[in-house]
Amino acid sequence: MTHSEDILIVPVEGDLDVSCVGRVRALIDERVAVGCRRVILNMAQATYVDSLGMSLIFAESRQLREKGGLLSLVNVCDNVYRSLVICRLVDFIPVTGGGPKPPIPALDPSVRPEWHGTMRVDPARLSEARRRMKELLGRTELTADEVFDLTLAGGEALGNAVDHTCAEGVLLSVWVYPDRVVVEVTDCGEGFDPSDGDEEGAGDAGACASSSLERGRGIKLMRMLADSVEIGPKTSGEGTVVRLVKLITPMSRQGGELGSLAC
């Protein structure tokens, strides 16, 4: 199990059936009760979901929706996906299959952003920065679920920048293009290797290893929540740039139009 302040990842160890539904439900309910609003079920080891498992997915998704949160399933095999389709759960629960994400098409350098905004981040007011980021993303054609996930991914990037680098020099930028939304978090620290904190490679003891492991988990969360994550040095001066990309899909546009009509 992996969790941050706002995100819980639950690895389903085997099929999601009567043998484990109670344990998974208790784990999710415990975290939701203390404020977690984003739950990801990792279905990599599941080849079957019975009726109790389907009921769990539906009930926990409804509970999170009512609290302004979101449940999604990742690494879903074909058989389980087919069952979810039959039960109509894919109509309102984000579901992704296993394997690597397809590469993001390169951005045409001649395409200019439709608009963008940049703000300096006060390390003592991270919640305000996250709120402002959510407001900016809400102006795009992304669906509410996509805004939710990209805000959480951006929040992880902000937390890493403040916690591991020069907290006073963090900038947050949102760039909106016709086919994608880009969130950038830049800092003026010494930079770091994005492979730092991989759980398989974090063998050093002490606080440094713990910090590296936490950072690695944050990066993994970002990769699950965004379509693309790039981490590299700034083009000038010291520091790191974390770039998160979310593609604008036909479903995104439909969601954006419905949201506009609802207003």
Digit-coded pLDDT (tens) for 26-49: 999 999 999 999 999 999 999 999
* pLDDT confidence bin for 11, thresholds 50/70/90: very high
Q: Strand ranges (DSSP E) for the chain?
A: 2-3, 7-11, 38-42, 70-76, 95-97, 115-120, 171-176, 180-186, 228-233, 240-247
The domain that holds 173 is classified in CATH as 3.30.565.10
Question: What is the Rg, in whole angstroms, of the alpha carbon atoms belonging to the chain?
Answer: 19
Q: How far apart are CA 96 and CA 108, in angstroms?
A: 27
> Are 85 and 124 part of one and the same domain?
no
Query: Domain for residue 52, yes or no?
Result: yes
Coil vs helix vs strand at 208: helix
Residue with tokens 């939710």: 148
Q: How far apart are CA 161 and CA 231, in angstroms?
A: 12
pLDDT digits (tens, 9 = 90+) for 83-140: 999 999 999 999 998 777 778 889 999 999 999 999 999 988 999 999 999 999 999 9
The domain that holds 81 is classified in CATH as 3.30.750.24
Query: pTM of the predicted model, to two decimals?
Result: 0.76
> Are 135 and 70 part of one and the same domain?
no
User: In this predicted structure, what is the pLDDT of residue 217?
Assistant: 74
> Are 144 and 20 part of one and the same domain?
no
> Are 72 and 141 part of one and the same domain?
no
The type of residue at 212 is: S
> Are 88 and 196 part of one and the same domain?
no
> Are 72 and 133 part of one and the same domain?
no
Query: Domain for residue 103, yes or no?
Result: no
Number of domains in the chain: 2
- Tally the residues of the chain: 263
The parent domain of residue 245 ranges over 115-262
Query: Domain for residue 77, yes or no?
Result: yes
Residue 68: which region, alpha, beta or left (left: phi > 0; alpha: psi -120 to 50)? left
Q: For residue 253, give Cα distances in angstroms to 111, 139, 205, 259.
A: 19, 12, 48, 10
Q: How far apart are CA 26 and CA 152, in angstroms?
A: 24
> Are 139 and 245 part of one and the same domain?
yes
> Are 80 and 126 part of one and the same domain?
no
Look at residues 97, 130, 161 and tell me which one is the last residue of a structural domain. Answer: 97
Residue with tokens 């492991």: 213
> Are 153 and 83 part of one and the same domain?
no
> Are 126 and 155 part of one and the same domain?
yes
Query: Domain for residue 228, yes or no?
Result: yes
> Are 165 and 235 part of one and the same domain?
yes
> Are 61 and 165 part of one and the same domain?
no
Query: Domain for residue 167, yes or no?
Result: yes
Q: Is the pLDDT of residue 197 over 80?
A: no
